[in-house]
Amino acid sequence: MAGNSSQKQKLLHVADILNKKTDEQHPLTADEIVAELEKRGIFAERKSVYSDIQELRDFGLDILKTRSVKSGFYLVSRDWDPVEIRLLCDAVLSAEFITGNKSRELVDNLCGSLSENQGAEIKKQLFLENRKKEKNEEIYYNIDKIQRAISESRKIHCTYRRRKAQWGGKIATESKEFTVSPYALLWEDDRYYLIGNNEKYDNLMHLRLDRIKSAEITNSPSRSFEEVSEYKNTFDVADYARKISNAFGGKTETVELKCKNEMLEQMFDRFGDDIRIRALSDGCFTFKVSMAQSAGLTADIVSFGDSVEVLRPESLRKSVLEAAEKICRLYKK
């Protein structure tokens, strides 16, 4: 008879086998569990497996015996069900800022929370190849450092890279050093951003994480976001995200747009479900939104053609007009 220590180890292995090898479509009989134990160098009798399963049930594991597919035992309840894991895997694969290697690792970890059969079935339906993915593996470690700096209210020092077009079609990379008080991490428009304060200025800034190199936590305490922003007590990441629009910066002000009725859903998608519209008699509607003027906003409005008109501010009307005139000149050559 196995000693007490071996018996405890066997119980853990039975739990692991039920977790990895079984689900509703793939139950295991007591004899099959005995065979799986033997593969692991643990020898047991069928009766002891029944006792182990009952002990695991008493501990709280949801183990059922079924005869619907075949007679056997399977683990019913898990931390995640297959649909949830599939959604999380799709989110990982669609996120450009997660590198290919890290995406594969995360998918393996997620699917590892299911039975082997369930995990394998999900992986067969996932496609990573030919997806646009970040190549900077450092981003994963920078997220960890920045998150710790936010929790500990300490500044970070980093190198920030930007690409710059040069004469002759060459692309150069220029770098700048920043010391930043970090306040939040924001995932917006399939990019990850650090929101913080450059110690040289009294305002907020946002940096793309995939462009950050060599982030290091300093010993200097962060400035309070209340000193450099309108937010009090809690930093409102959602509000800041709405105001920066496509994360291209610019001064925040009230923008009023007039749109054809068929543009309603697109406006909700672009500016959020909480915009308040005012219906007009000419088949159009107007609404106001507080946000930053930016190259991204101008480009979006131009892309809507004659379906969207800027009513104010005048500076944005002028920006859209200039962009449209540039397009006209391009095609009149």
Mean of per-residue pLDDT scores for the chain: 86
My answer on whether omega of the bond before 313 falls inside 30° of 0, hence cis, is yes
Kindly tell me if the per-residue pLDDT of 1 is higher than 80.
no
Per-residue pLDDT, 49 = 92
Q: For residue 144, list its beta bridge partners.
A: none
Per-residue pLDDT, 164 = 62
User: Using CA atoms, how far apart are residues 295 and 315, in angstroms rounded to an integer?
Assistant: 12
Per-residue pLDDT, 2 = 45
What does the pLDDT look like over 130-188, one tens digit per residue?
788 888 788 889 999 999 999 999 999 999 987 665 555 555 778 889 999 999 999 87
User: Using CA atoms, how far apart are residues 311 and 257, in angstroms rounded to an integer?
Assistant: 5
In this prediction the pTM is 0.64
Per-residue pLDDT, 265 = 82
Under the banding of pLDDT at 50, 70 and 90, the label for residue 270 is confident
Report percent pLDDT > 90 for the chain.
46
What does the pLDDT look like over 204-240, one tens digit per residue?
888 888 889 889 999 999 999 999 988 888 888 888 8
Per-residue pLDDT, 250 = 57
